[in-house]
Structure 1
Amino acid sequence: MYDPVRLAALVAVAEAGSITRAAERLGYTTPALSQQLAKLEREAGTALLVRHHRGARLTGAGELLVARARRVLDELDRARHELARLTGLSGGTLRLGTFQTAGIHLLPPALSAFRRAHPDVELTVADYDPSAGVAAVAAGEIDLALTHSYEPGDPTPLPASVGIEPILVEELVLVSAPGHVLTSGATRLPLTELAGQPLISMAPDAPARRGVEAALTRAGALPSVLVPTPGYLLVCALASAGLGVAVVPEMVARTSVTPVGVRALEGGRLRRTISIAYREEEAAPAADAFRAVLRGTFNRAQQFMAQAPQAPAQSRAVQSKPSSHPPG
């Protein structure tokens, strides 16, 4: 029988396109993850991955096993959710922290599902900058916090008591005024096409965005407007008004309240991972039940993103465990 932890590792590599990137997201070292994958290949009796200089790709057998693994991991999540319901959670409080994008577009359906399953649990929700939310979890001020990290970017150290569970990975996309030449094409845009373009620079001094901003600078984009306070509604509004182009998470572009042109970027290497922070080594039935609900909600969010009009890139749900985080 296949080990679910190893199946989750294979799914993570399929999502990340690289053993190194998958290890970072799962909170493992690269050698440790490679060892898990080697054991899985021995169990399967065949090669599941082909390593190459840019990462790793699935073999035919790997693709087959990943498809089955996703179903197995989904069923395990459902089982955890149903078992949590059987505990008969009654009374108590669940304290949540969230950053703005997730709080508006992803958290409400999960809260509705949780309330239906556990109507007696009192809910509190507070708005936190992602890094502050993680700190609040560590301090015991809240039970869970939605947070995120960017790629490329340096991992942010976690408090010893906090674990991070990645839930959704989305690409960063280019937004502009409607009809802009750069967002008019149907193919992915090479970053080199941003050379000389006026850029609305998004929180260039924030640790979470620093790696992304550096990549855009290397491509030759010229900062024309600086937005030092994380606020994607403002960034999209400025892009819509023709003050420059910007690179934002796909979910932000898809739900912009101002009309914007959207285009996927070549390579798919600029990404945002949305995660849930929780306290490890602590019995928390309400928090565990909500995490199970949240996984299912993010899977539905993935389907929404895939079905939305003018979808420029893919978002992927991730079944895995601790990694790192930042602001937003």
Structure 2
Amino acid sequence: MDLGDVSLVALRVFREVAERRTLTAAAEALGFTQSGVSRQIASLERAARTRLLERRHDGVRLTAAGHVVLRRAATVLDEIDAASRELAGMPAEAGTVRLGWYSSAGALLVPRALAALRRTHPAITVTTQEGSTPALIRALRAGRIDLAVVASLPPFRPPDAESPRLEFEVLAERSLRLAVPAIHPLAGADSVDVADLRGQRWIASPSTREQERLGVWPGLDERPEIAHTATDWLAKLSLVAAGCGLTTLPASLVPAVPPGVRVLAVRGGPHEQRRILLARLPQPPAEPAVRLADALRAAVHDVGAPAGAPWPEPLPLRRGTRAVPLGPRRSR
């Protein structure tokens, strides 16, 4: 195996394919042709003298060797990018941290954290991207982002089982709530029974291969009637305000609910909890990432969610599955 002559272009193409899981999507993101992407991957596999990708009907998956190359490629590309920033004259105290976040975190948590970080550490630059939890985990492993704010549902298993194990910190645990139109018959009380949700019309996100449908109360004993589909949480709540149906939302988003919407607790059935996790690769984080993690913890506190909840048993307390803070917590 001789990777000494591999080009940076091939490494960047390989990272893009590993993150997006299809050659077509990687080509579109990079502005390449699909055949150009295929040639770069082929050159990398020739140098490695082994297959790095497994071609499947639904895309590609990394082989064991592919995971090794991806891990090393991400390190090399990050170092090259860091050198480019230094050569461009970036001040020594400055730095860039790349943050990924799932949709609900973009409503309050991420904007508040970024606003606070700008006040306390204006030399730090943060770039962000939104994605599903599986997509953000892939981006983290591909070295495209430094931190990821992701979601976890019961039974709260780690989002992936690849090696090396990622480090996770539980930023918050919050309950699931029900959003109903203010003119709806259920809106007169502070809570409703789960049985009252039978026969209702729902506003939900589309169901995808990677992510279950969100917006319908979990565990209903009927096939729900989906009246409207939307991926953006504000669009869902605006449709609720217009009287178009019901949807679910995390308790942490209650302060952002628009007029015309009532937020209710649901009695009966399993107690629906959701967790917000902060994820990173296992190597020690750079100072900008530590500062951003501080800002995210403070923002969680500001929106009324308890911070620092531990992983539940029976998860083994080993590296990569326990809560590992990114630097010291600050007292408030």
TM-score normalized with structure 2 length:
0.57
Q: Report the equivalent of 1:168.
A: 172
Which whole-Å deviations, capped at 9, do the CAs of 1:140-199 have from their partners, x for residues lacking one? 11111211123478764254342221111221111121131212113x322111122222
Q: Is 2:128 aligned against 1:138?
A: no
Q: Report the equivalent of 1:295.
A: 297
Report the secondary structure of 1:112's partner residue: helix
Which whole-Å deviations, capped at 9, do the CAs of 1:263-314 have from their partners, x for residues lacking one? 1112572232112111112342221232123212211221xxxxxxxxxxxx
CA distance in 2 between counterparts of 1:214 and 1:91 reads 45
Cα pair distance change 1:253/1:113, threshold 3 Å: closer
Cα pair distance change 1:205/1:132, threshold 3 Å: closer
The AA in structure 1 aligned to 2:194 is: L
CA distance in 2 between counterparts of 1:158 and 1:263 reads 36
Cα contact 1:178–1:259 (8 A) shared by 2: yes
* The one of 129, 132, 136 aligned to 2:132: 129
The AA in structure 2 aligned to 1:172 is: L
Q: Report the equivalent of 1:115.
A: 118
Cα pair distance change 1:292/1:173, threshold 3 Å: same
CA distance in 2 between counterparts of 1:123 and 1:173 reads 31
CA distance in 1 between counterparts of 2:244 and 2:155 reads 25
Cα contact 1:175–1:183 (8 A) shared by 2: no
Count residues in correspondence: 222
Q: Report the equivalent of 1:14.
A: none
Instruction: List gaps (5 residues or longer) in structure 2.
Output: 1-91, 312-319, 323-332
Cα contact 1:174–1:246 (8 A) shared by 2: yes
Q: RCO greater where, 1 or 2, for CA within 8 Å and sep 6 or more? A: 1
CA distance in 2 between counterparts of 1:240 and 1:233 reads 10
Cα contact 1:173–1:248 (8 A) shared by 2: yes
1:222-237 alignment runs, 5 A limit: 222-227=224-229, 230-237=231-238
Q: Report the equivalent of 1:46.
A: none
Q: Is 2:306 aligned against 1:316?
A: yes
Q: Report the equivalent of 2:79.
A: none
Cα pair distance change 1:101/1:133, threshold 3 Å: same
Cα pair distance change 1:180/1:254, threshold 3 Å: farther
The AA in structure 2 aligned to 1:297 is: A
Percent of pairs identical after alignment? Answer: 25
Cα pair distance change 1:212/1:166, threshold 3 Å: farther
Q: CA deviation at 1:214?
A: 7.8
Cα contact 1:198–1:221 (8 A) shared by 2: no
Q: Report the equivalent of 1:257.
A: 258
The AA in structure 1 aligned to 2:265 is: A
Report the secondary structure of 1:175's partner residue: strand
CA distance in 1 between counterparts of 2:117 and 2:148 reads 16
CA distance in 1 between counterparts of 2:215 and 2:235 reads 18
CA distance in 2 between counterparts of 1:136 and 1:151 reads 23
The AA in structure 1 aligned to 2:280 is: Y
Cα contact 1:152–1:211 (8 A) shared by 2: no
Report the secondary structure of 2:153's partner residue: strand
Report the secondary structure of 2:107's partner residue: helix
Which whole-Å deviations, capped at 9, do the CAs of 1:26-68 have from their partners, x for residues lacking one? xxxxxxxxxxxxxxxxxxxxxxxxxxxxxxxxxxxxxxxxxxx
Q: Is 2:203 aligned against 1:179?
A: no
Q: Report the equivalent of 1:99.
A: 102
CA distance in 1 between counterparts of 2:257 and 2:294 reads 28
The structure richer in helix per residue is: 1
Which whole-Å deviations, capped at 9, do the CAs of 1:3-43 have from their partners, x for residues lacking one? xxxxxxxxxxxxxxxxxxxxxxxxxxxxxxxxxxxxxxxxx
Cα pair distance change 1:233/1:258, threshold 3 Å: farther
Q: CA deviation at 1:224?
A: 3.3
Moved more, 240-249 or 207-216: 207-216
Cα contact 1:165–1:277 (8 A) shared by 2: yes
CA distance in 2 between counterparts of 1:297 and 1:197 reads 34
Cα contact 1:167–1:320 (8 A) shared by 2: no
Cα pair distance change 1:293/1:215, threshold 3 Å: closer
Cα pair distance change 1:207/1:156, threshold 3 Å: farther
Q: CA deviation at 1:256?
A: 2.8
Which whole-Å deviations, capped at 9, do the CAs of 1:208-260 have from their partners, x for residues lacking one? 54598583432x46323252x53222222222222222222223344133521
TM-score normalized with structure 1 length:
0.58
CA distance in 1 between counterparts of 2:189 and 2:307 reads 27
The AA in structure 2 aligned to 1:247 is: T
CA distance in 2 between counterparts of 1:323 and 1:194 reads 36
Report the secondary structure of 1:299's partner residue: helix
